[in-house]
Amino acid sequence: MINTSALGRAASTGATRYDDGGAPPRGRRPRWRRAGRAVALPLLSVLVFLGLWQSAAVSGIWSETFVPPLGKIWAAFVDMSTTHDGVRGYGDYLLWEHLYMTLRRVFLGVTVGVLAGVALGVAMGSVPWVRRVLEPWLTFLRALPPLAYFFLLVIWLGIDEAPKITLLALAALPPAAVATTAAVASTPVPLVEAARALGGSRWDVLRDVVFPAALPETFTGVRLSVGIAYSSVVAAELFNGIPGIGGVVKDASNYNNTPAVLVGIVAIGLSGLIIDAVLRAAETRAVPWRGKA
């Protein structure tokens, strides 16, 4: 085996050595300043957007039904998060309860879809005839919008949790499968041949060579799967979607309750950002060699 620890020590030593005796090159900003800038710029963009929204709301150009002021959106958030005048949240559920049910559905659907997609990707990337058989079906499924088959799932599975989770799983499967297939198929052939020459079995080659090489692109596929599943939440919760953020958005839109719709959209977007950040952190820890080899 290659002494990867020695290579790592050499790389880390080389990465911190400078011609001027160890001092960082001039012009490089301190880490705290770079971190502050990374936080300040997104925050500034949010403040600018909120300012533009409020200006459009108070200008009178559009009706409050289309562009409600920030105060009404905040009031809707408070109403949906508390019990007021004997009314509990929205549809008798608090906002966090709606969000919990949506995240639960997304988690279950994405877990099933990603596991199936990765398994299919490994099989399709490793066995050519499996890829030839399954790739047309995978492409067909990837081209379908979720609403195209959601009503069929409702007919088959009813209106409870089964069609929602199945829809999210079907939405999450293609990105994971495509990314894993491409990653497995592009594993460097010399590494595979070297592992076989050293007596590695098929499973040894998959475990020690193919899986580590495919892991970075597989993580990309997982992130795409989560994003696509999240974009399908409203479709998945069209029927019997309360409790659920998608159900709130759909129900509130029926009554032109724009503030509640916007609260639901923001809740979906912010939770999606947090989940993506968690996935990126997990990717950084699980695949530290990405971009360095």
- Is residue 9 assigned to a domain? no
Is it the case that residue 223 has pLDDT exceeding 50? yes
Query: Are 36 and 102 in the same domain?
Result: no
Top-confidence residue, 196 or 24? 196
Is it the case that residue 219 has pLDDT exceeding 50? yes
Query: Are 60 and 74 in the same domain?
Result: no
Query: Are 233 and 95 in the same domain?
Result: yes
Query: Are 58 and 102 in the same domain?
Result: no
What proportion of the chain, given as a percentage, has pLDDT over 70? Answer: 87
Query: Are 35 and 111 in the same domain?
Result: no
pTM: 0.79
Is it the case that residue 109 has pLDDT exceeding 50? yes
Cis preceding-peptide flag for 243 (omega within 30 of 0): yes
Torsion angles phi and psi, residue 55, rounded to 5: -65, -40
pLDDT of residue 248: 93
Q: Residue range 135-144: average pLDDT?
A: 91
Query: Are 169 and 271 in the same domain?
Result: yes
Last residue of a domain, which of 67, 86, 112? 67
Q: Provide the CATH number for the domain around residue 150.
A: 1.10.3720.10
Query: Are 142 and 227 in the same domain?
Result: yes
Dist CA 227 CA 151 (whole Å): 22
Query: Are 88 and 144 in the same domain?
Result: yes
Top-confidence residue, 283 or 10? 283
- Is residue 56 assigned to a domain? yes
What proportion of the chain, given as a percentage, has pLDDT over 90? Answer: 46
Average pLDDT of the chain to the nearest whole number: 84
| Confidence tier at 28 by pLDDT (50, 70, 90) | low
- Domain range for 61 is 30-67
Instruction: Name the token pair of 251.
Output: 């129900």
pLDDT of residue 53: 93
Query: Are 196 and 265 in the same domain?
Result: yes
- Is residue 292 assigned to a domain? no
Q: Residue range 202-228: average pLDDT?
A: 86
Last residue of a domain, which of 15, 41, 67? 67
Give the range among 8-22, 75-89, 116-130, 253-267 with minimum mean pLDDT.
Answer: 8-22
Torsion angles phi and psi, residue 67, rounded to 5: -130, 85
Last residue of a domain, which of 46, 67, 88? 67
Top-confidence residue, 210 or 14? 210
pLDDT of residue 8: 43
Is it the case that residue 133 has pLDDT exceeding 50? yes
